[in-house]
Structure 1
Amino acid sequence: MEIRSLSEAAPDRRPPAVNEDLVITGPDFAVVLDGATAPKGVESGCLHDVPWLVRQLAVQLAPPLLARSAAPLPDLLADAIVAVRDTHAGTCDVSNPDSPSSTVAMVRLFPDHVEHLVLADSPVVLRSPEGRVTVHNDDRVERLPERTLEAVRRLRNQPGGFWAASTEPKAAYEAITGTTDRADVDVIAILSDGASRFTERYGHSWDELLDVLTTAGPRQLIDRVHAYDAVAAAGGKRYDDASVVLLQGP
């Protein structure tokens, strides 16, 4: 499959170079990580920022994926979380539930099937040669009974709450996972929520999103999202970091 990707910091982020998303791709895999921006006033117990966590997760995930490890994706993610936790357990309070965290969306290609993993709100979207669209997403954050800072803190990486990649390896086994026959896939999109809001916030269908990607590319999708962001009604986060990976072809 041809792989194209783009990851861009939110237009209003200061300093502009800081991007809490990260994309890694290889000959037969792609990963999107979307670090969770810490609300003001939240004490993470960690000396490190969210981009650091995202980079460290990528550093741990890339080698086994490049080596074509036979381990299931949840095992690779759990191992990465443990390795990152161990690098700063001596300096930071890794038991703090507000420790930096990230979404994870991964796809791995095999000759006869496609494997996916989705943890938190970065969806994987598949289209078949016949045009059938399947969305693999994790909407447990959206289904929380309340979204106060205290409720999110209490329910992060807990049964009945939601799960993200942070310091708890068991989160990897709570991810949405599955496989699809390779013959049933000719387009795959992996998106951070700063890009998937084209559908999830601004009302376009997933078919439209894939049409934009396959005809105009990731740059055009992100530009369209930012154009909507610029005129959106006040409320919530106006802009967000946006990442897209498009895998297309046989």
Structure 2
Amino acid sequence: MANLEIIHATAPTPGGVNEDAIVTGPAFAVVLDGATATGAPTGCVHSVAWYVRQLAAQLSCALLTSDEELREILREAIRALVVEHGRTCDMSNPDSPSSTVAMVRARNGVLEILSLADSPVAVQRTDGSVQVVVDDRTSHLASYTRDAVRGFRNSDAGGFWVASTKPEAADRAVIASVPLAEVNAVAVLSDGASRLPERYGWTWNRFMAALVSDGPTHIIDITRAAEAATEAGAFRGKPHDDATAVLCTIRL
């Protein structure tokens, strides 16, 4: 079995609480990013951070013990959480605590990849190219008001899916696979750590080269500096966000 040599870094939104989570094992890495709007009436007694941590625990256990496909592992993790807090919380509320998911696993000579919502995975191949796997449906919504996003969440009608109260969200995740022999390095990211290529004009090749040479903390530091130098309102969404970057190197 191939192992992953893994280093990572995470940082909260300046002045905030980090709602990202990381779990790693000998052959897997997962990044989760709390995805429920701050202040939204969730119908839940638990915080977004609670949901993210519980989902991380469920996924970690399954990835250590199960050979199921990644979508099935995610589906069962969501289902278990619905049981865990469904007795005290409103599982029909579209603003129930939720999380994006970015996940990789090295198995049977293949790197398996899953992305749900806007947390990407970037694969630096041995030929120098970079393949980005991301569920980008949140970038194509008809409107981004709070009410509109609420209606689009976990909907196939022009919407997007996140891990929350519907296990079938796992079936909408974007998946891919790459032969391990063709992989040099892998980045598993929350969207707060992928802003350099997604907002600030970097190519993914430049991003991966910097991540491999200088590490995840350096990437987050550069991102924070770019955010600080950006005029308010220049981009849709938060001026800052929790940022998590995981760098995996394959050891065959």
Normalised TM-score (structure 1): 0.95
For 1:12 and 1:207, the matched residues in 2 are separated by 31
Match status 1:24 vs 2:23: yes
Match status 1:117 vs 2:114: yes
Task: After TM superposition, list the pairs within 5 Å mapping 1:1-250 onto structure 2.
Answer: 1-13=4-16, 18-40=17-39, 42-67=40-65, 69-160=66-157, 161-235=159-233, 236-250=237-251
Q: Deviations over 1:194-224 (max 9, x none)?
A: 1001110111110111111111000100000
Q: Deviations over 1:59-79 (max 9, x none)?
A: 111112112x11101111010
Question: How far has the Cα of 1:186 moved from its partner?
Answer: 1.2
For 1:21 and 1:85, the matched residues in 2 are separated by 20
Question: How far has the Cα of 1:111 moved from its partner?
Answer: 4.0
Q: Is the 8 A contact 1:106 1:118 kept in 2?
A: yes
Q: Deviations over 1:22-80 (max 9, x none)?
A: 0000000000000014243x21111111100000101111112112x111011110100
Q: What residue identity is the alignment partner of 1:226?
A: R
Q: Is the 8 A contact 2:71 2:170 kept in 1?
A: yes
Match of 2:137, SS? Answer: coil
For 1:11 and 1:148, the matched residues in 2 are separated by 24
For 2:11 and 2:81, the matched residues in 1 are separated by 24
For 2:38 and 2:125, the matched residues in 1 are separated by 39
Match of 1:104, SS? Answer: strand
Match of 1:141, SS? Answer: helix
For 1:200 and 1:3, the matched residues in 2 are separated by 23
For 1:227 and 1:77, the matched residues in 2 are separated by 34
Q: Is the 8 A contact 1:20 1:37 kept in 2?
A: no
Q: Is the 8 A contact 1:12 1:239 kept in 2?
A: no
Q: Is the 8 A contact 2:36 2:96 kept in 1?
A: no
Deviates more, 1:3-12 or 1:25-34: 3-12
Q: What residue identity is the alignment partner of 1:132?
A: S
For 1:135 and 1:23, the matched residues in 2 are separated by 19
Instruction: Using the aligned pairs only, state the percent identity.
Output: 49
Q: Deviations over 1:92-151 (max 9, x none)?
A: 101101101100000000241110110000000001111011000111011011112121
Q: Detail structure 1 runs of 4+ shifted over 6 Å in the superposition.
A: none
Q: What residue identity is the alignment partner of 1:20?
A: E
Question: How far has the Cα of 1:249 moved from its partner?
Answer: 3.9
* Uncovered stretches (5+) of structure 2, i.e. residues with no partner: none
Provide the alpha-carbon RMSD of the alignment: 1.1
* Uncovered stretches (5+) of structure 1, i.e. residues with no partner: none
